Amino acid sequence: MKNIYQYLWVISLSMAFFACPLFAEDIYVTGVTNITMRTGPGVEHKIVAMLKSGTKLEVVEYQKDWPHVKTDQGRTGWVLSRFLTQKVPDALLVEKLNKDNQDLMSKLEAIEDENKTLTVKNATLVQIEEKYNKLKQESSNFLKLDAKYKEMMQQYEAQKTQIETLENDLNNEPKLWFLIGPGVFIVGLFFGLSTRKKKKTSLL
């Protein structure tokens, strides 16, 4: 009875091999013990390697009971099909999950480091923005002061021009009086002579 079950199991495994692609198919060593990989399809052939449970193999050629397989290291040979399975062993799944978890942790650490760097850069940008706003405000005040200064300079220049005009007028007034004085004297003398002549004429 036991042989019948083993026979049916081998037939089922064989059907699974035939239902799937015959080449470049990944299978795994099952069980908890090491199995032999031989130079040919049979126990009479020389052992070339001992394969641990969970070892990943690639099917090179399928033969009844003895598939021709290749290891990840490139070594080829034949193994008994009853020690093979298409299901990925739990140990390999756990190992893969652990590796994926480590990769995610490494990525998380890298993201955290990048986040710290960005936080520092953001703080620096905030400081730069504050300095820029302060400089902008100071520049605005400077422009206002500059405009006020220019306005005062214009007023100063205008007042300076007025002062220079008044000073010129004041400087010219003595000359004017100097010219007017002799003129008044001559006019007065002329009127005096004219009056004297009129008096003499009236006496006659």
Q: Is residue 41 a part of any domain in this protein?
A: yes
Could you tell me if 81 and 136 lie in one domain? Answer: no
Would 16 be classed as within a structural domain? Answer: yes
Q: What is the CATH number of the domain that holds 26?
A: 2.30.30.40
Give residue 76's pLDDT.
93
Beta 47-51 vs 76-78: how paired, if at all? Answer: unpaired
Please check whether residues 56 and 99 belong to one and the same domain: no
Whole-number Å distance between alpha carbons of 71 and 166: 114
> Count of domains in the chain?
2
68/115 same-domain check: no
Report the pLDDT value the prediction gives residue 5, as an integer from 0 to 100.
47
Question: Does a structural domain hold residue 200?
Answer: no
Alpha helices in the chain (DSSP H): 2-19, 90-203
**Last residue within a domain, chosen from 47, 72, 87:** 87
CA dihedral 126, 132, 135, 139 (to 10 degrees): -150
Q: What is the pLDDT of residue 2?
A: 44
Structural domain includes residue 180: no
Catalogue the long-range contacts made by 83-88 (C-beta closer than 8 Å, 24 or more residues apart): 83/29, 83/30, 83/31, 83/35, 84/13, 84/27, 84/28, 84/29, 84/30, 84/57, 85/27, 85/28, 85/29, 85/30, 86/16, 86/20, 86/25, 86/26, 86/27, 86/28, 87/28, 87/30, 88/28
Which residue among 68, 87, 106 closes a domain?
Answer: 87
Going by the DSSP 8-state scheme, the letter that residue 22 receives in this structure is S
Residue 168 belongs to what domain range? 89-174
Please tell me whether residues 121 and 57 are part of one structural domain. Answer: no
Residues 139-156 have pLDDT tens digits of 777 788 888 888 888 888
| Co-location of 107 and 130 in the same domain | yes
Which residues of the chain have a pLDDT value below 70? Answer: 1-25, 29-32, 89-92, 172-185, 187-204
Same domain, 106 and 38: no
pLDDT for 112 equals 87
- The CA distances from residue 7 to 64, 78, 83, 201, in Å, are 12, 19, 14, 183
The model's pTM: 0.37
